[in-house]
């Protein structure tokens, strides 16, 4: 059922079409780019939203990157970034504050950072695929032990201490054969160097957390940590309602984490919002008789439009 309902929203390749249509509809405020190709040759598409987007040089204004679906199965995350994109463009027409925001800044939306993996989750039996589609055993097809975890493949602290990623190809957190070995990683690294983002949100699921700071170890306090803490709020007053703010490495160690590279190589203030599962999201749908169906797995996409919308609404104030 989840799959059929999902078709209504996007489905394989669907987000590319949405980005193209959006760029066409708002020529003055958008610019569509391909930041590179996936392993299987698909475009990794991003759209810039700023005033006179096609005239003003990329990175000229303070810039924010919203990106999602590095992990193929985390379907709710591109819903977040595409809805945010549409929200910004819609409000532009009536709200002076939004017009000012996009005149003074550039907002970049990159809904599917792992397009091969994402599409693969729509095929029979592959709903819970996480990694990209690297053919680790070279048998010419995608088999269970294949794939590299894009969120462990980034150059900063890649494989550090052998803790927080797997050296084993079949591992769910396989870091790849070398730093930035994957085209999906290279594309993002190059893109971040070019635009020099000030702020980035790397959407994942499924928990209700707002993660920040370095992933590879609990960092000694730095001025950045104070900024992170101020932005993320605290358990009593979280910046995203219901999302506990936490140091990434305190949750668990990662190495080759995207945000560590963004922070350490390009100075980006980067967060990982972990969006909710259908179970936790249901708490925020007020006063209805919605019944939980098809929520067997924590990775299952909430198949109710209202849940997706509720999760999205919770995240807007922090994202903007
Ligand atoms: O493990 C990940 O890549 C992210 N979680 S997920 O369940 N979506 O796979 C979180 C990465 C955040 N960094 C650290 N916790 N160090
Ligand atoms: Zn993830």
- Give tens-digit pLDDT for 261-287: 999 888 899 999 999 865 555 554 444
Q: Which parts of 14-160 fold into alpha helices (H)? A: 14-25, 76-92, 96-104, 115-120
38 is written with which tokens? 């996936």
Cα-to-centroid distance, 26 and ligand 2 (Å)? 31
pLDDT at 122 over 90: no
pLDDT at 296 over 50: no
250 is written with which tokens? 């305190």
Q: Which ligand is the nearest neighbour of the Cα of 258?
A: 1
* Mean pLDDT, range 249-271, rounded to an integer: 91
Closest CA relative to residue 45, chosen from 82, 8, 7: 82
Q: Whose CA is nearest to atom 16 of ligand 1?
A: 215
C-beta of 71 in contact with ligand 1 (< 6 A): yes
243 is written with which tokens? 């999302």
Distances (CA, A) of 15 to 7, 38, 65, 70, 160: 11, 15, 17, 14, 35
C-beta of 239 in contact with ligand 1 (< 6 A): no
Give the tens place of pLDDT for each residue, 170-207: 999 999 999 999 999 999 999 999 999 999 999 999 88
Q: Which ligand is the nearest neighbour of the Cα of 173?
A: 1
Peptide bond into 206 cis (omega under 30): yes
pLDDT value of position 293: 40
Q: Which residues pair with 174 in a beta bridge?
A: 166
pLDDT tier at 291, thresholds 50, 70, 90: very low
Please compute Rg for the chain using Cα positions: 19
Distance CA 206, CA 202 (A): 13
Atom nearest to 207 CA in ligand 1 = 7
Strand order from edge to edge, sheet including 43-49: 30-37, 43-49, 106-110, 63-68, 199-205, 269-275, 209-212, 244-247
Atom nearest to 215 CA in ligand 1 = 16
Instruction: Give ipTM to 2 decimals.
Output: 0.98
C-beta of 151 in contact with ligand 1 (< 6 A): yes
């Amino acid at each position: 059922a989840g799959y059929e309902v999902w078709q209504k929203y996007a489905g394989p390749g669907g987000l590319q079409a949405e980005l193209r249509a959006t760029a066409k509809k708002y020529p003055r405020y958008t610019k569509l780019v391909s930041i590179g190709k996936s392993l299987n040759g698909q475009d990794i598409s991003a759209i810039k939203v700023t005033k006179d987007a096609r005239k003003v040089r990329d990175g000229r204004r303070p810039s924010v990157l919203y990106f999602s679906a590095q992990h193929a199965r985390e379907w709710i995350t591109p819903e977040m970034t595409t809805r945010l994109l549409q929200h910004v463009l819609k409000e532009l027409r009536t709200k002076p504050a939004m017009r000012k925001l996009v005149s003074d800044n550039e907002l970049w939306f990159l809904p599917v950072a792992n397009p091969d993996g994402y599409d693969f989750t729509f095929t029979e039996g592959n709903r819970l695929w996480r990694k990209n589609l690297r053919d680790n055993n070279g048998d010419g097809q995608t088999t269970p032990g294949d794939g590299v975890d894009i969120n462990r493949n980034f150059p900063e602290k890649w494989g550090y201490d052998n803790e927080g990623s797997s050296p084993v190809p079949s591992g769910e957190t396989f870091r790849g054969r070398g730093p930035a070995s994957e085209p999906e990683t290279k594309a993002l690294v190059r893109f971040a160097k070019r635009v020099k983002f000030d702020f980035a949100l790397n959407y994942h699921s499924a928990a209700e957390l707002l993660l920040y700071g370095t992933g590879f170890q609990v960092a000694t306090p730095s001025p950045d940590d104070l900024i992170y803490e101020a932005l993320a709020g605290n358990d009593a007053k979280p910046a995203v309602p219901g999302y506990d703010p936490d140091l990434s490495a305190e949750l668990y160690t990662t190495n080759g984490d995207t945000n560590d590279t963004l922070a350490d190589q390009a100075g980006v203030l980067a967060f990982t919002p972990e969006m909710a599962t259908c179970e936790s999201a249901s708490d925020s749908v007020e006063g209805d008789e919605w019944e939980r169906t098809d929520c067997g797995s924590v990775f299952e996409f909430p198949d109710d439009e209202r849940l997706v919308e509720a999760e999205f609404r919770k995240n807007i104030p922090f994202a903007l």
